Chain A
Amino acid sequence: MSLDKPYLDVPGTTIFDAEQSRKGYHLNQFCMSLMKADNRTRFKADERAYLDEWPMTEAQKQAVLARDLNRCIALGGNIYFLAKIGATDGKSFQQMAGSMTGMTEDEYRAMMLAGGRSAQGNRVVGEDGDAQAHRQPQGRAGQQKGAV
C-alpha cells in the first residue's frame, strides 16, 4: 500500500518529505557545508570546482549555479538548507523567498507590507489564485509576458 500524501495538490508548494529528502541528500549537505567560513571562501572562488566535490546530479549543480531555488527544490532541496547559499551570497530570507515568485524584490516586499499573499484561490491546484501554475511568473514579469 502506498503512503498517504495529501499535500501533493497544494499549488506552488513542495513538501520536503522522505522522498524529496532522499533525492536531495547531497544537494542539501553541500548547502550545509557553507556554514563554515572556509568553505564559503572556496565555493565563491570557484563554484563549479567546489560543486564537483559533491556527488550531486548535473541538474542539481546547474540549478545551484543559476541560483534557481524553485529548481533546487524540485530536485530535492529544502529551503532551510538552500538558505545557506543565500547567506553566502549576502541575501536576506525575504530576497530568497521573493526570488521564487518571479516578483522583483520591491514587488515582493510591497506584497508582504500589504498583508501578504492571500490563501484565497491558493489552497488547491486548479483554483485561480496568484500562486497557481498558470499565473507564473508573478508581478511585472508576468504582466510583460501577457502583453507579448
Chain B
Amino acid sequence: MARITASVYTSHVPAIGAAIDLGKTTEAYWKPVFQGYDFSKQWMKDNAPDVIFLVYNDHATAFSLEMIPTFAIGTAAEFQPADEGYGPRPVPKVIGHPELASHIAQSVIQDDFDLTIVNKMDVDHGLTVPLSLMCGQPQAWPCPVIPFAVNVVQYPVPSGRRCFELGKAIGRAIASFDTPLNVQIWGTGGMSHQLQGPRAGLINKEFDNMFLDRLIADPAGLAQVPHIDYVREAGSEGIELVMWLIARGAMADIAGGGKPHVAHRFYHVPASNTAVGHLILENPA
C-alpha cells in the first residue's frame, strides 16, 4: 500500500525562484533564506519519496477568470513550467503520476469533495519554487509530482476547516492505493504577506509563529480559525496558509496514528514582500 511518510510546508515566493534562476542565492539579501533550506535539500536526498502530492495555488496563470476551480487535481502525465510574463522558469518539466492522481480523484470525490480533474495545465511558481527550494537545480525533478491547485485568488477561498477535512480524505485515498509507494504531501504558500493597497508589506511574526506552533501541536484547533483572522493578522495574501492545513490533515496522527516528528523548522523575514516559513514533519515509521 502507498504510505505518506512526511509532510513539507514552505512559502513559494516568486522572487525566490528568480534569485535561484539568476544565481543570486549567495547574495547577502538571499543567503539567510537559502541557508534555511540547506538541511531540507540533504533531507530530500536522505528521504527520497516516490511521489510528491503538492498543494499550491495558481496565480492567474493556468486559471484566468474564465474558470475558477476551488480544488483542482492534475492527472496528466506531465506539466510544463508556465510563462508568467517573464518567460518560463528554466526548470525541468514536471512529471505527473496519472495512476495515483486518478485514484485519489475518484476516492476523494466519493468522499464528498468535488474536485476538478485537470488533464492539461501549466504550473507556475506556486509549484516550481517549492521544488527548487527542496531539490536545488537538478536536470530532472527527483520523482513524479501530483499538482493540487487551490483557489486562493477569488474570495471566498475554502475555509481552513474544509482544507483540513480534505487533507484527511486525501490521506485515506493514498492509504488505499495498492502499489507500495513512499508519498510526501507538501503544503505551500504564505506566510504573512499582503501585495495590494496601502497596507502592502504587512508582516506578522507573532501570527506566523503561532501558526507554526499550532500546525504542529493543535492542527484541529488551528483549522477553526476563520478567513477574516488571516486577512487581519497575516494580510490579504496570507490566506494562502489554509493550504498548509490540507497537508497537515493527511498526517498519521489525525487518523489516530502517532504524532509527527519535527525534522526541521525555519522562519525568515523578508523575501521580497513576504515572510518565509518552512516545516518538515515526519510520520512515525
Which of these, A12, A25, A37, contacts B199 with CB under 8 Å?
Answer: A12
**Given the contacts A16-B155, A28-B60, A113-B270, A136 and B201 also touching, CB distance less than 8 Å:** no
Given A13-B236, A17-B154, A7:B228 Cβ within 8 A: yes
Give the total number of A-B pairs whose CB atoms are below 8 A apart: 159
A111 and B154 form a contact (CB under 8 A): no
B198 touches A12 (CB 8 A): yes
Contact-size category for A: 35 or more
Alpha-carbon distance between A124 and B231 when the two chains are bound, in angstroms:
11
Of A16, A86, A112, which one neighbours B154 at CB under 8 angstroms? A16
Chain B proximity mask over A21-38: 1 for CB below 8 Å, otherwise 0: 100010011011011010
**B154 contacts A122, C-beta separation under 8 Å:** no
A69 to B153, CA, bound (A): 17
Among the listed A7, A84, A88, which residue makes an inter-chain contact with B60, where contact means beta carbons less than 8 Å apart?
A: A84
Given A29-B66, A81-B64, 15 other A-B contacts at CB below 8 A?
Answer: A7-B231, A12-B198, A13-B231, A17-B155, A28-B65, A29-B64, A73-B197, A97-B196, A100-B196, A100-B197, A108-B201, A112-B273, A113-B270, A124-B232, A138-B198
30 intermolecular pairs with C-beta atoms under 8 Å apart: A7-B231, A11-B198, A11-B199, A12-B197, A12-B198, A12-B200, A13-B197, A14-B196, A14-B236, A15-B236, A28-B60, A31-B60, A35-B61, A69-B196, A70-B198, A73-B197, A78-B153, A78-B154, A80-B59, A81-B60, A83-B85, A93-B273, A97-B200, A101-B200, A108-B201, A115-B203, A116-B270, A118-B203, A118-B204, A119-B207
